[in-house]
A and B are shown apart, each in its own frame.
Chain A
Amino acid sequence: MQSNSSMPGRREWDRRSFLKVAGLSAFAVTSASFLASCASSSPTTTSLISSKLYSADDARKLNSSLEWTKSVVADPKSEVTITVAHSWSPSDYVRQRQFDYFFQKRHPNIKIVAENAGDSSADYLKKYASQAAGGDLPDVMYNGFNFAQNFISSGAFLALDDYISAETHFDADDFTKVSRFYYRRDGKNYAIPYDCGPIMLYYNKGIFQKAGVDVPDSSWTLDDLRSAAIATTSGTGGSKIFGLSQPVTPADTFWDTVRLSPFGGHYLTEDESGVLIDQPDSISAVQWWVDMYLEKGVWPSPAELQSMSQADSFTLGRSAMRVDGSWGASTLHDQATFDWAITDWPAGPKGHSTAAVGSAYAITSKSSQKDAAWIYLNEYLSTSGQIFMFASTGKGNMTRNSAWPAYLKSKYAPEGAQAIRNALNNYATSDGVVFGPATPQLTNAVSPIWDQVMGKSLAVPDACKQIAQAVKPLLKKNVAG
């Protein structure tokens, strides 16, 4: 019978495969136990690392040229470790670790364990919201303006005012006023801002020259912007040049401050609990912007936007102007193949304002090493710290005025960088920036409505009314939260 012919050599299977399986299992068990013990909390930086962008020698020179004032809080008597969470791109993270190296040299008893979740704040949030749910946050945490309040209102962060007022050299007034707004609650400061940049006007010199239009400057009004946008828009299809690189849209959380307020229009009430977009002033402000799109196509339509999925049209060299945060300058520095500069955001008939937003670092309230965390934070965000991390690397947008001269001298500062500082100290504001807890929902609710406006199937007044209706119920979350 077939009893043996239907089964391939049993003995062969037994010996060879059994050994294979046994070997693999042994490997599995030993590696598992080895790995399990690898939950390390040893410092992440024990030697000075170097990269093409940030050489070790330059870092050392810079570090020794800077003055590092000591905190009034004394260094711990024995070795402690603090964990710091960052959101850097791989190349920027190198600079961070260089800072940590020199910091540990100055404070031998404080060991830094840095965690980097990459440059995407969506990933950062996912990771640290989960950690928060598990009750296990790091000692010091990076925060974006748009989600800091979520953590603050849940009591996750420590109020820093006592530490700040105890310091003799902190100089709170050195910080640009607009930068501190986002991290305050009930009169207390819960984080120290490390960068804050305003929305500025970028322009492509070549396109202006070719169109025979004068380049923008600080004297411009929004009417000047409009005529320039129309004059520089030309061509069709793949060779079309746009006057403005991005659409005006309510999905832009700065649109109130940058686009509407100069005309006396508004999106939401100041405390984000009510809607103002359906008021006549607001509607006419929106109409003013949308008209140049409807009549002259000065910014890309939805279909045209799709073909530029890798970067915006300005970076691609296809638009004359871009309305964007000053933080975009360093990327443009790397990617642009044309001559460009920055200038002040123009004034409108009813006012001159632009939005300024940024990020901050906080100490978590459950940290067991608050003093050490404060020593780190104090140095990290001191003038020297900001020069080391942000002025010398071109990341810019330092929150301390005293750090700006170093930036303006560096090779990374774009042409017109003084305008950024000017904006920060004069007309940049947080008024009208939408950043309450309901913001993602607002954005997702108004986009479909706005798609129709951009698709030219819905008029602006109707759209504004629909937006008001869509948004009203969602705002309750801002009040409750």
Chain B
Amino acid sequence: MTQTAPAPLSSKPIPVRRRGSALARQEARAFYGFASPWILGFVLFGGGPVVAALLLSFAHWNLLTPPSWAGLANYQRMFADPLFYRSIVNTVYFAAGSVALGVITSFLLALLLNQKVRGVGFFRTVFYLPSVVSGVATALLWVNILNPDSGLINSILRVVGIKGPGWLVDPQWAIPGLILMSIWGAGNTIVIYLAGLQGVSPTLYEAARLDGAGAWHRFWNVTIPMMSPVIFFNVVTSLIASLQAYTLVLIMTGGGRPGTAGGPDNSTLMLGLYIYREAFEYFDMGYAAALSWAMFLLIGAATAVQFAFARRWVYYDA
């Protein structure tokens, strides 16, 4: 960290990029060339449907008959819809809880799984397993575990003398139940953290140890800053995912029985679930599109804020 840049072997000067210079233009060309797969993908597969989704929000469409123009009707309906606001509250509550819990637990688990012990490969596979297991299986199991009368968690609490809450049956406790459940889906974030941990150079740890830093200081001053790009990625993407989440809620609180998917008193109605319902249960594509744009703005705002703050704490080597 106190080393100087290597001296050039040849007499070629290191190029300096100046705006508008030939070199800059060359680099820009390279940029577009390398980014072309994504650009093409956006134009071909992304752009069209996105524009369609935007137009749909101004229309009424039930898939079976051609769309009809609705003007701002969907948006007016949305702003007057109490369920819309309810779902936003539920979604933000769930997302905040599950991201906070998830980011921290996954990180700690990744640290645990990064230890040099025998059979670490097996353990890593085990921790990754629940996130790829069939959603139906996980949901059913979790519903059993969270059962107020006979479930595992309340039984354990009973042993300690606490009367466990109603979990998925109680409007107050349904979302905390779902947040707990999302831990099992931590597999992906753990994998990303693991990958990131490989990139923290042991040299830095050595140097820190030489400087007299204890375990905590090494963690705080080496691990976290070097992992910050990856932590940032996980926070941003987990937030996006949890703001959009609905499949687990659908299976757990809905389970195919009509009318139960909003949870007790609509307390687990997430915006993602609301959109899914409007799109594929009511076949009201126009309203679903309007709701999707609301979700897009919500996520966009949250993400933009994170990127703005990123400057303060995310450390890139370049």
A and B touching (Cβ–Cβ under 8 A): yes
Q: A residues bordering B, Cβ < 8 Å?
A: 1-3, 120, 122, 125-126, 129-130, 132-133, 150-151, 154-156, 237-238, 249, 251-253, 302-304, 306-307, 309-310, 437, 440-441, 443-444, 446-448, 450-452, 455, 481
Q: Indicate if B97 sits at the interface (CB-CB under 8 A).
A: no
Collect the chain B residues with CB atoms within 8 Å of residue A238's CB: 149-150
Partner of A451, one of B6, B143, B265, B283: B265
Quick one: given A238-B150, A306-B148, are A154 and B262 in contact (CB under 8 Å)?
no
Q: Indicate if B65 sits at the interface (CB-CB under 8 A).
A: yes
Do residues A3 and B9 form an inter-chain contact, with CB atoms below 8 A? yes
The residue in chain A whose Cβ has the minimal distance to the Cβ of B7 is A1
Quick one: given A303-B147, A452-B265, are A251 and B259 in contact (CB under 8 Å)?
yes
Instruction: Pick the most buried of A1, A150, A154, A447: most chain B CB atoms within 10 A of its CB.
Output: A447
Q: Indicate if B39 sits at the interface (CB-CB under 8 A).
A: no
Q: Kindly state the separation between the CA atoms of A129 and B144 in the bound complex, as whole angstroms.
A: 34
Q: Indicate if B260 sits at the interface (CB-CB under 8 A).
A: yes
Do residues B143 and A309 form an inter-chain contact, with CB atoms below 8 A? yes
Partner of B64, one of A150, A252, A307: A150
Do residues B261 and A307 form an inter-chain contact, with CB atoms below 8 A? no
Instruction: Pick the most buried of A122, A155, A306: most chain B CB atoms within 10 A of its CB.
Output: A306
Partner of A448, one of B143, B148, B168, B264: B264
Do residues B255 and A150 form an inter-chain contact, with CB atoms below 8 A? no
Do residues A122 and B280 form an inter-chain contact, with CB atoms below 8 A? yes
Interface string of B196-222 (1 = CB under 8 A from A): 000000000000000000000000000
Q: Indicate if B114 sits at the interface (CB-CB under 8 A).
A: no
Partner of B260, one of A122, A125, A447: A447
Interface string of B273-286 (1 = CB under 8 A from A): 00001001111000
Collect the chain A residues with CB atoms within 8 Å of residue B151's CB: 307
Quick one: given A3-B9, A126-B280, A150-B62, are A447 and B259 in contact (CB under 8 Å)?
yes
Q: Kindly state the separation between the CA atoms of A151 and B265 in the bound complex, as whole angstroms.
A: 32
Q: Indicate if B229 sits at the interface (CB-CB under 8 A).
A: no
Do residues A304 and B149 form an inter-chain contact, with CB atoms below 8 A? yes
Do residues B258 and A443 form an inter-chain contact, with CB atoms below 8 A? yes
Do residues B149 and A307 form an inter-chain contact, with CB atoms below 8 A? yes
Q: Could you tell me which residues of chain B, from 99 to 138, have a CB within 8 Å of some CB in chain A? A: none
Q: Indicate if B188 sits at the interface (CB-CB under 8 A).
A: no
Closest 6 CB pairs of A and B: A447-B259, A251-B259, A154-B64, A443-B259, A129-B63, A133-B63
Partner of A306, one of B62, B169, B258, B281: B169
Quick one: given A132-B64, A306-B148, A444-B277, are A150 and B283 in contact (CB under 8 Å)?
yes
Q: Could you tell me which residues of chain B, from 135 to 163, have a CB within 8 Å of some CB in chain A? A: 140, 143-144, 147-151
Q: Kindly state the separation between the CA atoms of A437 and B64 in the bound complex, as whole angstroms.
A: 12
Do residues A1 and B9 form an inter-chain contact, with CB atoms below 8 A? yes
Collect the chain B residues with CB atoms within 8 Å of residue A309's CB: 140, 143-144, 255
Q: Indicate if B225 sits at the interface (CB-CB under 8 A).
A: no
Do residues A448 and B265 form an inter-chain contact, with CB atoms below 8 A? yes
Q: Kindly state the separation between the CA atoms of A457 and B53 in the bound complex, as whole angstroms.
A: 42
Collect the chain B residues with CB atoms within 8 Å of residue A130's CB: 63
Q: Can you offer 11 A-B residue contacts whose CB atoms are under 8 A?
A: A1-B6, A120-B256, A130-B63, A156-B64, A304-B149, A307-B147, A444-B261, A446-B259, A447-B258, A448-B264, A451-B264
Q: Indicate if B176 sits at the interface (CB-CB under 8 A).
A: no
Q: Kindly state the separation between the CA atoms of A155 and B65 in the bound complex, as whole angstroms.
A: 8
Q: Indicate if B172 sits at the interface (CB-CB under 8 A).
A: no
Q: Kindly state the separation between the CA atoms of A302 and B260 in the bound complex, as whole angstroms.
A: 10
Q: Least Cβ distance of A83 to chain B in Å?
A: 18
Collect the chain A residues with CB atoms within 8 Å of residue B63's CB: 129-130, 132-133
Collect the chain A residues with CB atoms within 8 Å of residue B147's CB: 303, 306-307
Do residues A448 and B262 form an inter-chain contact, with CB atoms below 8 A? yes
Q: Could you tell me which residues of chain B, from 240 to 285, have a CB within 8 Å of some CB in chain A? A: 255-262, 264-266, 277, 280-283
Do residues B266 and A440 form an inter-chain contact, with CB atoms below 8 A? no
Quick one: given A129-B63, A447-B259, are A310 and B140 in contact (CB under 8 Å)?
yes
Q: Kindly state the separation between the CA atoms of A149 and B280 in the bound complex, as whole angstroms.
A: 16
Q: Least Cβ distance of B134 to chain A in Å?
A: 14
Q: Least Cβ distance of B61 to chain A in Å?
A: 8
Quick one: given A304-B149, A306-B169, A309-B140, are A249 and B259 in contact (CB under 8 Å)?
yes
Q: Kindly state the separation between the CA atoms of A460 and B168 in the bound complex, as whole angstroms.
A: 24
Q: Least Cβ distance of A25 to chain B in Å?
A: 14
Given contact pairs A151-B64, A155-B65, A448-B262, enumerate 19 new A-B contacts (beta carbons under 8 Å). Answer: A2-B6, A129-B63, A154-B64, A237-B149, A238-B149, A238-B150, A251-B257, A252-B258, A303-B148, A304-B149, A310-B140, A440-B258, A440-B282, A443-B258, A444-B261, A448-B266, A451-B264, A451-B265, A481-B62
The residue in chain B whose Cβ has the minimal distance to the Cβ of A155 is B65
Collect the chain A residues with CB atoms within 8 Å of residue B168's CB: 306
Collect the chain B residues with CB atoms within 8 Å of residue A133's CB: 63-64
Do residues B149 and A303 form an inter-chain contact, with CB atoms below 8 A? yes
Do residues A303 and B9 form an inter-chain contact, with CB atoms below 8 A? no
Q: Least Cβ distance of A87 to chain B in Å?
A: 14
Collect the chain B residues with CB atoms within 8 Å of residue A306's CB: 143, 147-148, 168-169
Q: Kindly state the separation between the CA atoms of A309 and B136 in the bound complex, as whole angstroms.
A: 11
Q: Least Cβ distance of A386 to chain B in Å?
A: 28
Do residues A307 and B150 form an inter-chain contact, with CB atoms below 8 A? yes
Collect the chain A residues with CB atoms within 8 Å of residue B260's CB: 251, 447
Collect the chain B residues with CB atoms within 8 Å of residue A481's CB: 62
Q: Kindly state the separation between the CA atoms of A307 and B169 in the bound complex, as whole angstroms.
A: 11
Q: Least Cβ distance of A14 to chain B in Å?
A: 20
